[in-house]
A and B are shown apart, each in its own frame.
Chain A
Amino acid sequence: MIINHPLLGPRDASEFTYLGDASLINRPDWQADNAAEAFYEYGYLRDNPAGEHQELWYHEAGDRSWLVVTRNTLTHEISKVELARDVARARGRSK
């Protein structure tokens, strides 16, 4: 596969390490009342869509950026690639 890196352009997927669902960015608040439940869901429950899937890839043999790649699990079509840091900020993460 080819991942079109937002900074570096098209790069072979073999340069990347796959982590999984980009929902891993949504780490729960450790102090919430339901923290145990929320962390359980965060850690163990995933959607497994046959279709578009947002997933985390790490450019290990490249610039060390974590990317959020929107990939169709049926066709492997990649419709969007973003820097995970930008996605994390957009989802309200900060420090």
Chain B
Amino acid sequence: MTQTNRLDGGQIDRNTSLSFRFDGRSYTAHPGDTLASALLANDVRLIGRSFKYHRPRGLLTAGSEEPNGMVELRTGARKEPNTRATTTEMFDGLEAYSQNRWPSLKFDALAVNDMFSNFLSAGFYYKTFMWPAAFWEKIYEPIIRRAAGLGSLSMEADPDEYDKGFRHCDLLIIGAGPSGLMAALTAGRAGADVILADEDFTLGGRLNSETIAVGDRSASDWAAQVVAELSSMPNVRLMPRTTVIGAFDHGIYGAVERTGDHLATLPAGKPRQILWRIYTQKTLLCAGATERPIAFENNDRPGVMMASALRTYANRYAVTASQRVAIFTNNDDGHRTATDLHAKGVKIAAVVDVREDAPSSYDYEVLKGAQVINTKGRHGLSFAEISLPDGSTRTLDCGALGVSGGWNPNVHLTCHQRGRPVWNEALAAFVPGGELPVGMSVAGAATGIMSTCGALQSGAEGAAKALNLTGALPDLPEAEDAPVIQTPFWYVQGCKRAWVDQQNDVTVKDVKLSYQEGFRSVEHLKRYTTLGMATDQGKTSNITGLAIMAEVAGKSIPEVGTTIFRPPYTPVPIATFAGRMKGQEFHPTRLTPSHYWAKDRGAVFVEVGNWLRAQWFPLPGETHWRQSVDREVRQTRASVGVCDCTTLGKIDVQGTDAAEFLNRIYANGFAKLAVGKTRYGLMLREDGMVMDDGTAARLAEDHFVVTTTTANAVSVYRHMEFVRQCLCPDMDVQLISTTEGWAQYAVAGPNARKLLQKIVDPEFDISNEAFPFMACGNVTVCGGLRARLFRISFSGELAYEIAVPSRYGDALMRRLMAEGEEFDVVPYGTEALGVMRVEKGHAAGNELNGTTTALNLGLGKMVSKKKDSIGSVLSEREALVEPDGLRLVGIKPLLAEDKITAGGHLMKADGPVDAAHDQGYVTSAVYSPILNSNIGLGLVKNGSERLGEKMRLVSPLTSLTVEVELVSAHFVDPEGERLRA
């Protein structure tokens, strides 16, 4: 087929031919076309089936307000459902498919729904599927889901890339029609930083759709000339193909730029879309207006379109929807379409104008005081039935019917900060209200100024006012300034089914029914009928729905009220919101200094927050993780093991008040800690619960290095800054994180000292006498590299932590392994670390879970009462110090092979098993290769007084019951002889 509906003129490149496919058939088009204009050019009017009744539907509009003309675009993983053909820029090789039809678009089995429409009216779900409840999930919903809905998903991951970006300007102009272009020109020439964004790929708005003149040239030429001037200004950034989707607080706007949607294939590395966050001082909304329909019987038949859309197709795309067109209007604008189409040689069947005093024409017949009462045609319009003022009817032979019910200003973005539009009686439309988003003003048709001349002027003035410009405005070109009078005409009386919201299949009757059934507030109407809740957000239907509601209620439209619009202005792919944050890039990954070495060793890694830590290091032949972990524990306790503990937070605390500061943030005292010593510190929240724990090493009188748990490094630092700035503003204390700066390794086991003596330079004596348990200090290693050494132990063994600048971490680890060979040194991961700390009875994240106090953890005596520290007062609350409270204990099964389950609850040996008799719960559970038994830690009521008691560990969810005994949490070396050795 060869574009039988193509006209002369237009802004398409006829020298280039593009080929595309719709439902498998090949067609041709030109650059400058949209999919919609190309389909019309090829005389394809039937585009899809409707949401609920599977009625045949075609195109209604030529813009982003389109409710009907939606397709599945592209194929495979790139398939995108519910894409508006009206905004899809044509490219060579485009493939699109119609939606919601089976087996084919022309014969759709579910069109049978349409025959049962009496049963499927508003609220039918609620009425029909009320009982029995269980049927909903199993029967009703699957059936409805199959029948209703529009496009289908590819069910594959989106292969394209999406970016996010940030831009700043003095003035954001939304919409590049006459007012937007004039505003940009005014602001741009004044030197302001301007962003001009428009959803279209050609800037100009309706100037590209009209045959009017602006100044001494055609409207579209004038637009092109202004765009050319703006492009040459370094302070003006033009953003075509960019939809401003939302207005947020304080001049922040969201905008989606479709950088790749118009390309057949994206160049490598290029994003398909960019989600911009635009920061602006001032915003001028020049979003124009949307033509509103008139509802009448069978007004959804393909070929029934907006009159302005017919004009756009004819003037911009050189396409007519049919060779015989009728117009149905209540205003003069509808006549413009007839005039333009007639000039292009399209036969005008008649202009049906509801007004008795409608203007006449020499070129075509005008039926005054007439209405369209029905349409006919199988898959598209063939005839329109007209009622004439004398009561007679007449049938018009036409393939397209342009409908114009007047224009609604596009107030959407004015509502995004809860601003409510107000009713303008003269326009019979809502215009922007007084409460606009901060910094926003509105110009042109969006504010109800409907003439081109008025739009140009209000754009220039709007920009000047927003920017406080004092100089002369640019000269305004001459343009049409016809007065616009809109007398509302919403729907034709007496129709059985006249469509208001075509995307959600809502009729005039449904709106009335909603009122009759008591759903009378606008918000209820919307939810009961689903009016305006489809992907087009009711751009062509909301106001009509309100008007019908007002009529039934006997109220005025402003009395009925209006719903407000929310972001996004048009649908946005979820992938655009995700941007680059998907898969591996969902969050940043932090690597430890020994990461590359560990990878070489074949380590298995685990995510700990953003960190990747070695979990264990399997050796050849080890097939189960327990084999590796058991070996790492045994070897460490038998000789020496090394573990990367860089991930622990490290905070440098300096200043003359540093010790006093630590006294404040830790529950236990630090003032008397000697230089060269380390102390365990317990940090409480102000409510008395444990916040974190770690060590503080005193490197100098006024210098400490504090460690935090890996998980709380960020929040502890924030907390310390809070105390420093907000609670103790005059303390001389300075903080900075050094977590990343030092590669820190735990070297643990009876041979730890022997190994370190081969690493630490000989001038530093690290014997037990010179460097006892809890000592710390600066040393050098491997012939002079600065390092820090701490004699602290998490494993319960003789242990040290050694730190070197991170860039040498990899080399130090390799050196430790090489020098440790004679001791059979073993690297151990987080699992072995966990096993050893449970064996030693050290609390960790599972115990420091935000609900435990120092007393619960057996650390009650650490909370000093002799000083002011965060959390100390509230830690003494009655409920927190009950003798019957939870205490940390060890848990051992009577049969060593019985598994302990973290999260399992403890019950007395006999008696009921229920929540009322709960004695406590297990926090951590591991297998101890040293005890050859499963063991655990738990919190048990008065647990420290109940050691030796037999209990039942239950997990009713998994039907688990294990007999256990409460023991000391210190399974290994309870006297601490090993770590002092």
Contacts and interface: CB of A to CB of B under 8 A. Distances in A.
Q: Is there any pair of Cβ atoms, one from A and one from B, under 8 angstroms apart in the complex? A: yes
Interface string A43-82: 1100000000000101010001110000000001110000
A76 B250 contact: yes
A44 to B, nearest CB: 8
A56 B872 CA distance: 23
B872 A30 contact: yes
Contact of A39 (B657, B721, B874): B874
Interface string B679-699: 000000011000000000000
A84 B660 contact: no
B167 interface: no
Contacts of B872: 30
B528 interface: no
Given A66-B721, A88-B725, A95 B873 contact: no
Given A2-B249, A95-B657, A36 B876 contact: yes
Given A39-B686, A43-B874, A95-B731, A65 B725 contact: yes
Contacts of B876: 36
B249 A88 contact: no
Nearest to B438: A77
Given A30-B868, A94-B729, A58 B718 contact: yes
Interface string B710-728: 0000100010011001111
Nearest to A94: B730
Nearest to A65: B725
User: DSSP class of B's interface residues: helix, strand, loop or mixed?
Assistant: mixed
Nearest to B718: A58
B877 interface: yes
B249 A93 contact: no
A19 B730 contact: no
B722 A19 contact: yes
A88 B724 CA distance: 10
For A10, A24, A39, which residue has the most chain B Cβ atoms within 10 angstroms? A39
A29 to B, nearest CB: 8
B729 A36 contact: no
Contacts, number: 85
Interface string A1-31: 1100000001011000101000011011011
- Size category of the B interface is 20 to 34
Contacts of A13: 249
A62 to B, nearest CB: 12
For B249, B438, B726, which residue has the most chain A Cβ atoms within 10 angstroms? B726
Contacts of A27: 686, 727
A38 B714 CA distance: 29
A94 B664 CA distance: 13
Contacts of B438: 77
Contact of A56 (B248, B726, B731): B726
B725 A85 contact: yes
A94 B724 CA distance: 10
A17 B718 CA distance: 9
Nearest to A42: B686
B729 A2 contact: no
Interface string B647-662: 0000000000100100
B730 A95 contact: yes
A66 B250 CA distance: 21
Given A1-B249, A2-B251, A76-B249, A93 B873 contact: no
Interface of A: 1-2, 10, 12-13, 17, 19, 24-25, 27-28, 30-31, 35-36, 39-40, 42-44, 56, 58, 60, 64-66, 76-78, 83-89, 93-95
18 contacts: A2-B250, A10-B279, A30-B868, A30-B872, A36-B873, A36-B876, A39-B874, A43-B686, A58-B721, A65-B725, A66-B721, A76-B250, A84-B726, A88-B729, A93-B726, A94-B729, A95-B730, A95-B731
